[in-house]
Structure 1
């Protein structure tokens, strides 16, 4: 059941705002967005999309029950996705392809946002007992912590007075929270931190190289920042085709985790040839369970279709080989830690010297906004600092980041948009550019205006989400299908809440959306 497509859709309006901010393209293509797209369900608003497409399920995993995000997250993702589609279409138009429209939907955006979880198939066992972050200090400050190394984790907690058993139990769920969207920590760890004032916890974190970030409400920052680079030839002119507007564009990607690989994935979906640089032995994420065909399902969801080469960028020979690859590319994309590009001699001016006309995309955690030594720039601490942690929760509930990778997904998309805008600029002017984006800047794309918060209705065998708050009867004895039948008869749009991503991935109503790129060009 395809929803009506409209340039007046909220996501299309967001895309229009993004295009204006980018000052990109000839405006010959307008974003056309619907709610359901090719998904065969009566999706008429944000809440129904979140329910049907798995967002409620993933966001609610940590608490063991599906729960909506209190902001229009899927709409925000669709707005950035539509922006990417328009820029890709205008790039194809500049190369002689008369593209007249690009279409996408909020449902397709939502499915892209949970793609790494969908790839893992059926859900695992029920949520384990434990208490997820954030933490609360003895003087009432709510905060998140981040570290990527077990030794730093242990030093920090020992400094706070935690026992070894707590640390052994706490590290695995903390380490795997990005993959599972859960983090059942021992309650005793929360108790340990609640015995100390925040300044003491922050000091211990700094001493142990653990980032301690209070939950706040930082002002929005610009989503994209561009800097000029020397000009040079673009890719050879080619007929991009309607479904591959970036055909002929070569991307070299050196990225880990989600943000950078997702940006490369989006460019690949648009037809670019993407080559990954991985460390000797390959990206460690390739071996993270669950495996499909010998490769991590999550890794494959972000990197399928890319070629890969192993280079040791910590050594001059590896960097020299990488520069040779960049010399034949149109785009170089990375999400390295702050200072690494300069230390390696692979910052934008360095690579523009070997490839004039290069579009150099740097996707970071914080950008320049927190100084030269910022906290670790990962999803949950960015949610905390940026104010998303408060906006995502219903009114009256304490702020807490979602354990769904909210800013990683948006960060990958806004990086891809930066690349597309840079390619468009090069097509018009011949000059290369550097495009800087960050998880923090991506957080600025989510509208913070609150809508009515509607939790799904519990039924005898699941949950149902409705598009209006007109259902007040006791539905506990009613099955989801019985309730849906009654709502359909009353003309109230409603859907069953997806509570098993494995079932969603084989549901024929989603097949047309899951097995093709999220744009239609014509």
Structure 2
């Protein structure tokens, strides 16, 4: 796919959205890229085996990256650069999405071999009550967790084992819970569990459907305006800045980032990959996540995967001196990005209006969890809680036959891309019209973007067109993903399998499985691709992802395998 990005006074920017990273057009689709990149493997760690997410995740991610790259190239042109083409691939987007898991699986010492199905698909979050309600729980502190399970009569040692797994689910995409914890919940009705949660200070949220999400007051505006909210700031600013240094469009711009976990740090990482100088604010002594094994040169590879291109400035922003130093940094910056808890910026006197006083040209960016809906702010705005509330978890569960949602950080990654995309749009607006301001994004906005087509179809009472064949099938050795979008492709599949496939989906899938039993996944991948079909072997071991020539250009191997920048500019 190719589209031209047009902005006043600029040369058109041709943006190429490719399938595979090597540019080859054959066999690239949502399903086959999920299979080849290792994304199915990560999702399948806790779901009983490698399987698709069941949502158009890679496509949404790649489209967002394509628009962000176009905006950045436009900013570069306005600052004297010559970028007129941007290339982004589905494979590059998928590699970016699993960057921290790829790092963990490929580090030279201490790599974790977490293969699909390595933990029980049942003894994991989300949880199920006696009356059949599937729900998520969340806390960022061990004490509410301990109080909750103590109230249910669970010994502290068992609760502690559960906490260790629960705490690290975002980092490992698994959360093996002691069976006793799951059984205790399965004996209680949801309403009683919710009471115990309230008493312990634990948050709880049932997995809602997209139909339920459709009734929310905030949804129409999110569907209409997209996953950001822009607040105008100072105007009448100079519309051009110093020309960039180097060959990347945002070279010469400075970003101050004060973020934890994944969403915010990924947004800062993307700005760095576009050429910006990113200064990361950390607590005195450094971010504790730097010490999470496995390590390279004393730093967590998961942490390094998102932060290796940044400078670090240690500040205690709760102190008057730390806030003064932060304001001084912001006075010389182009962007300030944070993902603090709701209300924290105002409490610290570091909100948009406070920073705008020292730098009217600053773009102030907030990457939050729930967006503007204050009613939700009582719950932690984490990936898994937002998956549950937004309908994403139910959608993934329904389509990928999993317990509910994904322990892969679906929304943290997309939310980071959305936040960086909003910053790039705001920078372009400042360059074009001399107007700074604030841009807010959220995980809930990212979730709405991910399911926007389904939500709009539900609202309009229409059904979305689905591929006629789309599945992951066993072969003589390994799994094969096949996707046929129309009847012509199904005809080619019949010819390639040399079998008169049934029109009824269940019978047809059974026939495909019987046919594929004659050869392994690699032989079938080559054969079906020669027939012009989208087919790919499912890569289950992340340590071998780099061996695929369609994915290799997205990766760089040093102390661990890194996802390269998803963009190429010329």
Over 3 Å counting, the alpha-carbon distance change for 1:508 and 1:291 in structure 2 is farther
Residue 227 of structure 1, CA deviation: 0.8
Matches within 5 A, 1:299-378: 299-371=303-375, 373-378=377-382
Residue 391 of structure 1, CA deviation: 1.8
Over 3 Å counting, the alpha-carbon distance change for 1:315 and 1:86 in structure 2 is same
Over 3 Å counting, the alpha-carbon distance change for 1:67 and 1:397 in structure 2 is closer
State the match for 1:498 in structure 2: 539
1:105 aligns with 2:93: no
Matches within 5 A, 1:35-114: 35-38=19-22, 42-114=26-98
3-state DSSP of counterpart to 1:461: coil
* Contact in 1 for aligned 2:545/2:551 (Cα 8 Å): yes
Over 3 Å counting, the alpha-carbon distance change for 1:489 and 1:511 in structure 2 is closer
Deviations 1:208-235 (A, max 9, x none): 2211011113244341001122245578
1:133 aligns with 2:125: yes
The TM-score normalised by the length of structure 2 is 0.83
Residue 373 of structure 1, CA deviation: 3.6
State the match for 2:567 in structure 1: 519
1:467 aligns with 2:483: yes
Query: In structure 1, how many angstroms separate the alpha carbons of the residues matched to 2:66 and 2:234?
Result: 29
State the match for 2:487 in structure 1: none
* Contact in 1 for aligned 2:19/2:25 (Cα 8 Å): no
Q: Which runs of 5+ in 2 are unaligned?
A: 107-111, 455-463, 485-489, 494-511, 557-563
Matches within 5 A, 1:225-304: 225-231=229-235, 232=237, 236-239=241-244, 243-304=247-308
3-state DSSP of counterpart to 1:434: strand
Over 3 Å counting, the alpha-carbon distance change for 1:513 and 1:271 in structure 2 is same
Over 3 Å counting, the alpha-carbon distance change for 1:396 and 1:339 in structure 2 is closer
State the match for 2:457 in structure 1: none
The TM-score normalised by the length of structure 1 is 0.90
Query: In structure 2, how many angstroms separate the alpha carbons of the residues matched to 1:472 and 1:48?
Result: 17
State the match for 2:471 in structure 1: 455
Over 3 Å counting, the alpha-carbon distance change for 1:24 and 1:409 in structure 2 is farther
1:121 aligns with 2:105: yes
* Contact in 1 for aligned 2:135/2:207 (Cα 8 Å): yes
**Which of 426, 429, 435 does residue 433 from structure 2 map onto?**
429
Residue 24 of structure 1, CA deviation: 10
Deviations 1:406-462 (A, max 9, x none): 100111011101111111111122221100001001111214546347332223432
Q: Which runs of 5+ in 1 are unaligned?
A: none
Query: In structure 1, how many angstroms separate the alpha carbons of the residues matched to 2:348 and 2:378?
Result: 20
Query: In structure 1, how many angstroms separate the alpha carbons of the residues matched to 2:91 and 2:173?
Result: 20
* Contact in 1 for aligned 2:370/2:377 (Cα 8 Å): no
3-state DSSP of counterpart to 2:279: strand
Query: In structure 1, how many angstroms separate the alpha carbons of the residues matched to 2:179 and 2:324?
Result: 50
